[in-house]
Amino acid sequence: MKLLFLTYRFPYPADRGDRLTVFHLLRTFHAAGHEVTLVTFVDGSEPAESMERVAPFCARVETVHLPKWRSWLQAWLGLPRLQPSQVSYFESARMSALLERLNAETKFDLVFSHLIRMAPYGAALDHPLKVLWIGDSLGLALARSMPFAPFWRRPGIAWERLRVDRFTGLVSRNFQDCWALSLDDLEDQKRLGVRQPTLVIHGVDERLFALERAVPATPRVVFLGNLSVPHNIDAAIHAAQDVWPLVRARAGEATLVLAGADPVPSVRRLGELPGVTVTGPLPDLLDLWRNASVMIAPLRFSTGIQNKVLEPMAAGVPVVTTRRVADALGAVDGEHLLTAEDPQGFADSVLRVLAEPGAAAERAERARRHVHERFSWNAAIRRCETLVAQARR
């Protein structure tokens, strides 16, 4: 089948959840023999090798340059509007014109829009089969972030949440299939009146299942995430300032590694704390997981499937996270990982992993099997193939 794939951020480097998702979807579509025309924004910050890393998976790649200054100006000017700021951020007449031309030139079997930021472009196209990957519920994420935000930011968050919820329900009417990644997200889509909400299983990098782990000389506790994203910033600060002193008091030789792209100043400063290292982006996450003793993910507000937890589970790394994150993955406390909800609980669980390596390894192996059995990018491919087959009847 021929797909027109719309995304708002070039999918390389795969250093954050949205890029990672698109990169693996493109790779899997290509492996299944499908032709993808990728259309994406670029802002000039992409590494020189980005195109050569993505192009082999696509029949064609088209980009539209949208500088960050223009995007931010559009977002600010759009504050009084009912359209979410994150949608205004990606407005472009050039993108609309390009997509209209491509849709007229080529008979695509399916138009695939990644997240609501690209939904207006997919919605505007005259095509009988359009899919919207809504993914994580953005409105739900904004609502959960409210208690942890500074008071002066809360009115803005509430306004954006109201607009996101309204927009999601309305724009979904222009698509034949709308995808959620977890049951929480699916229920929220139903609440918003989303058209044809469908649960589609997320995938994971298959190389992780064969990863052979090392035993570090000293315990390495790891947190990974894009460190410019609010829920990851909060988790990193929470881990380093609230949880880590409790761990270090009983395991002084251990180190906490905060890894991920674009650490904001408040996260970079955490590297000044005893036993804490802030790495910034890493070229290869396999080495991170190979040498990790435990992954800690104290995500106090988040929604949907968390790649940062799914990947270490696939790699056989013991995980400590919140019950909400575990539930989204279908993981059971004590069976596949450990859960905690406060600093002392997180510290106790991390120390338990370090003190009981045999039991931790058994849990991690069960988690690896759980991910292998339940999470595959092929689920998205099969859903698209089914939709196209139904449309052809």
Grade residue 14 by pLDDT with cuts at 50, 70 and 90. Answer: confident
Which residue ranges make up each domain of the chain? 2-203+376-392, 207-374
Question: Please, what is the end-to-end C-alpha distance for the chain in angstroms?
Answer: 15
- The answer to whether 277 and 255 have CB atoms below 8 angstroms apart is yes
Separation of alpha carbons 260 and 247, rounded Å: 22
pLDDT at position 305 over 90: no
Give the pLDDT score at 192: 96
Give the pLDDT score at 302: 85
What pLDDT, in 10s, does the model give residues 150-205?
A: 999 999 999 999 999 999 999 999 999 999 999 999 999 999 999 999 999 899 99
Mean pLDDT of 16-25: 93
pTM reported for the whole predicted model:
0.92
pLDDT at position 300 over 90: yes
Partnered with residue 295 across adjacent β-strands are 222, 319
- The answer to whether 18 and 115 have CB atoms below 8 angstroms apart is yes
Give the pLDDT score at 283: 79
Q: How high is the mean pLDDT of the chain? A: 96
Reference 16, options 8, 27, 4; nearest CA is: 8
What pLDDT, in 10s, does the model give residues 328-386?
A: 999 999 999 999 999 999 999 999 999 999 999 999 999 999 999 999 999 999 999 99
Give the pLDDT score at 280: 86
Separation of alpha carbons 305 and 318, rounded Å: 17
Give the pLDDT score at 393: 82
Separation of alpha carbons 53 and 61, rounded Å: 12
Grade residue 222 by pLDDT with cuts at 50, 70 and 90. Answer: very high
Mean pLDDT of 37-53: 96
Mean pLDDT of 317-330: 96
Domain 2-203+376-392 has CATH 3.40.50.2000: yes
Give the pLDDT score at 284: 82
Grade residue 11 by pLDDT with cuts at 50, 70 and 90. Answer: very high
Give the pLDDT score at 71: 98
Q: Which residue has the tokens 């034949």?
A: 176
Separation of alpha carbons 183 and 181, rounded Å: 7
Of the chain, the percentage scoring pLDDT greater than 90 comes to 94
Separation of alpha carbons 277 and 156, rounded Å: 33
- Tell me which of 34-38, 149-153, 316-320 is least confident: 149-153
Separation of alpha carbons 293 and 219, rounded Å: 6
**Fold: same for 2-203+376-392 and 207-374:** yes
For domain 207-374, the CATH architecture is: 3-Layer(aba) Sandwich (3.40)
In angstroms, what CA-CA distances link 296 with 214, 313, 349?
Answer: 18, 12, 9
Give the pLDDT score at 314: 97
Residue 172 is which amino acid? S
